[in-house]
Amino acid sequence: MNLSLSLRDLPVVVLGGADASRQALARYRKAGAKIAFFDSPEAYRAAVALPGRPALVAVVGGPDGHDGTHDGDWSPVLDHYRALGVPQVSEPAAGPRGHVTLVGGGPGSRGLLTVDAVEALRDADVVLFDRLAPWRELEGLTTARLIDVGKLPGHHRVPQDEINRLLVDYALYGVDGRPANVVRLKGGDPFVFGRGAEEAAACAEAGVPVRVVSGISSSIAVPAAAGIPVTHRNVSHSFTVISGHAPLTDAEHLHLAGLAAEGGTIVVLMGVANLPHLAAGLRRAGLSPATPLAVVERGHQAGQRTTVTELGTAEPDTAACGNPAVIVVGEVVRAAAATGLAGGVTREDLEGFASAFMMESSSGTRR
């Protein structure tokens, strides 16, 4: 059950260690509550004025994750407010200082953030984000200082070396000279063309502990948003993910064409600018011009659009496409018609595709 409660101008008692409570206090301040904070039972007992009947009592957990609700020292305080019928909640402790968490934000939708990702953002003091992550949602997910490092497809306003330095500096010195809990929020998964390993190495070299929270890779999630499975029984038994930032070599085109011809799916990330080079290279390498190709733009985001075509006409048919986008090459593209989520596939295509499935399933053959 999710409950929404407005705390604006209402008294809230927060109990917990000063440092462990820093994020919880920030959240209640942001909600507009009138906070009475006590970092120890002694401080509570010594207080001259106490809220008679607050709207809420929040107990902040310690560094070990214990929620503190039944801690013996706080029991008299909690029992007092419980007898008055005051609701009580447990709040997690703030994240450890001097620590970096690399968080995969998925393809950009808040709904595709993992539970670990949401919790890491909640506990952060500083968040460095790029525009491939769900950055528009951050105001509702964290009270941390937000730093836009400006990464967009094909445009990196802040160089990677500078991002590495910022991660280490904020972890060690924070925004007030004290170590901070830092989150680096990235699109997709940090270790899938995300340069997360470089950031982890920079932290390790500086002696900063680092943790990785895996994210849902756009290589799978974005095609799925358009109804395209990257594998399908009797159609595709493998998929290969490549970066489209730079043009491929003839040898790479030949390798990919061979995989696609044998039932593999090719998924290209960040490759719209080099799509003409890719399509021409695959044709030269012998891949049939009739091979289905799709470009899914802004997957799982507002304005999502899918363009379905064939390898032989990819250049003119996708000329209006732009990043962020994922390119899919292979017979699985036709499966999008079954969901009705992708345009450009006719009913005749769907009927032919379904017939091929049934024939192959009954004969036990496999592409």
CA torsion through residues 253, 254, 259, 264, sign? positive
**Among 61, 51, 120, 125, residue whose Cα is nearest residue 89:** 61
**What is the spatial distance between Cα 53 and Cα 115, in angstroms, rounded to a whole number?**
34
**What is the spatial distance between Cα 184 and Cα 193, in angstroms, rounded to a whole number?**
15
Taking a C-beta distance cutoff of 8 angstroms, is the pair 295, 341 a contact? no
Catalytic residue from among 270, 317, 358, 359: 270
How many Cβ atoms from other residues are within 10 Å of residue 360's Cβ? 15
**Longest pairwise C-alpha distance within the chain:** 84
Taking a C-beta distance cutoff of 8 angstroms, is the pair 105, 117 a contact? yes
DSSP-assigned letter for residue 96? P
Amino acid in the structure at residue 59: V
**What is the spatial distance between Cα 188 and Cα 150, in angstroms, rounded to a whole number?**
16
Taking a C-beta distance cutoff of 8 angstroms, is the pair 51, 45 a contact? no
DSSP-assigned letter for residue 93? P
Taking a C-beta distance cutoff of 8 angstroms, is the pair 296, 225 a contact? yes
Catalytic residue from among 130, 176, 186, 358: 130
Active site residue 130: yes
Taking a C-beta distance cutoff of 8 angstroms, is the pair 302, 282 a contact? no
Which spans in the chain are helix H?
Answer: 22-30, 41-46, 75-83, 115-122, 160-173, 196-205, 218-225, 250-261, 275-284, 314-317, 347-363
Beta bridge partners, 243, equal 269
Neighbouring C-alpha atoms within 13 Å toward the C-beta of 121: 25
Q: Residue holding tokens 């953002």?
A: 121
Structure tokens at 151: 């990464």
Active site residue 34: no
DSSP-assigned letter for residue 81? H
Catalytic residues: 130, 151, 270
